[in-house]
């Protein structure tokens, strides 16, 4: 059953009112993909990051809209030993100038409204390496994927 909200009410799934009103939620799809990022500036450094992308699409009945929730689990390694998060150049969020709060939002995921634009970003983000590489132009595959990760976060709702 769909109820329209007053225009002045913010019903984002991340607000208290949004969570309360959006209690009736269906999971539409749930997937995860894992990728390996290397230190592109020094491939001989033996640094790499394992990036697991967790993707969830929910339908919020109150709004009659779908939202994506995308989060990341990242483990950094140097010489096959796990390192402190964010200390290797292979980490997709390394040295971006973000504070801890911004990194936390990136890692835990923000709700992003599903629309044709964000749907395309998600499709590309979750593509296998061989397929995505056909669309990256002169940008390296992992830089392209990192840019998709950061871009999606800019469309939080």
Give residue 153's pLDDT band: very low, low, confident or very high (50, 70, 90): confident
Least confident range of 10-19, 71-80, 84-93, 118-127:
10-19
Q: Given this model, what pLDDT does residue 20 score?
A: 53
- Write the Ramachandran bin of 79: left for phi over 0, alpha for psi from -120 to 50, otherwise beta: left
- Is the predicted pLDDT of residue 60 greater than 80, yes or no? yes
* Residue partners of 98: CB distance under 8 A and separation at least 6: 106
Q: 25 vs 20, 38, 104, 128, CA distance in Å?
A: 11, 38, 24, 29
Question: Does 74 or 110 have the greater pLDDT score?
Answer: 74
Distance CA 4, CA 73 (A): 36
The model carries a pTM of 0.80
Find the angle CA(84)-CA(85)-CA(89) to the nearest 5 degrees: 100
């Amino acid at each position: 059953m769909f109820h329209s909200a007053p225009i002045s009410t913010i019903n984002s799934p991340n607000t208290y009112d949004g969570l309360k009103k959006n209690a009736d939620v269906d999971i539409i799809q749930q997937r995860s993909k894992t990728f390996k990022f290397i230190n592109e500036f020094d491939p001989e450094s033996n640094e790499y990051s394992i990036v697991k992308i967790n993707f969830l699409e929910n339908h919020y009945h109150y709004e009659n809209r779908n939202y994506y929730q995308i989060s990341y689990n990242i483990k950094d390694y140097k010489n096959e030993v796990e390192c402190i998060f964010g200390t290797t150049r292979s980490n997709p969020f390394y040295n971006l100038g973000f504070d801890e709060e911004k990194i936390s939002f990136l890692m835990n995921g923000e709700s992003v409204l599903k629309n044709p634009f964000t749907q395309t970003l998600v499709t590309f983000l979750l593509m296998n390496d061989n397929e995505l590489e056909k669309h990256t132009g002169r940008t390296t595959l992992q830089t392209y994927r990192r840019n998709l990760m950061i871009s999606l976060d800019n469309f939080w709702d």
